[in-house]
């Protein structure tokens, strides 16, 4: 019986070491891609929250970190204090801007002067910026606090305009 227990233990250990790398990886977090900023900003305003847009690039590891650790979880929360969208700076994805005009994600990023990835902007119902953009991934330990503060400031500005 002890041989069976040792074999079972060895098999369990082998399976753990094979599966551990897979278990340690979290599933990739995705955000809803911005398609119609005018409609999405109206949706956010109807809830009294800002439209938070992550301006990202496909080759940006910091963008993936912001998406996975901060904006992804926020976007999945049904009581989130913001509507979150992602806009790819390096793609020519069709997009409707805040004024209802057709453009592309790359052209709109240039128009908004989003030159570095990641950039997170906080928009009101008409597309105005409600808080200072967060550019880059500075001070990782405080990034969540920067994000929370900018969302709170944005919500306060939305409320004061109503």
Q: How far apart are CA 66 and CA 78, in angstroms?
A: 19
Left, alpha or beta for 139 (phi > 0: left; psi -120 to 50: alpha)?
left
Helix or strand run (H / E) with residue 120: strand 119-123
**Residue 24's pLDDT band (cuts 50, 70, 90):** very low
Domains of the chain: 37-161 (3.40.30.10)
Q: What are phi and psi of 33, to 5 degrees?
A: -75, 140
| Whether pLDDT at 6 is above 80 | no
Give the pLDDT of residue 92: 97
pTM of this structure? 0.81
Whole-number mean pLDDT of the chain? 86
- In this prediction, residue 30 has a pLDDT band, given cuts at 50, 70 and 90, of confident
């Amino acid at each position: 019986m002890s041989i069976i227990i040792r074999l079972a233990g060895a098999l369990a250990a082998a399976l753990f070491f094979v599966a551990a790398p897979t278990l340690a990886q979290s599933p990739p977090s995705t955000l809803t891609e911005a398609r119609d900023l005018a409609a999405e900003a109206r949706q956010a305003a109807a809830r009294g929250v800002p439209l938070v847009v992550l301006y990202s690039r496909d080759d940006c590891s910091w963008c993936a970190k912001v998406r996975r650790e901060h904006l992804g979880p926020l976007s999945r929360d049904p009581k989130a204090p913001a509507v979150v969208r992602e806009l790819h700076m390096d793609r020519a994805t069709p997009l409707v801007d805040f004024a209802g005009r057709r453009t592309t994600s790359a052209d709109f990023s240039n128009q908004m002067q989003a030159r570095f990835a990641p950039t997170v902007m906080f928009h009101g119902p008409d597309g105005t910026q409600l808080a200072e953009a967060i550019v880059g991934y500075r001070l990782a330990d405080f990034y969540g606090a920067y994000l929370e503060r900018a969302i709170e400031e944005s919500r306060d500005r939305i409320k004061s305009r109503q």
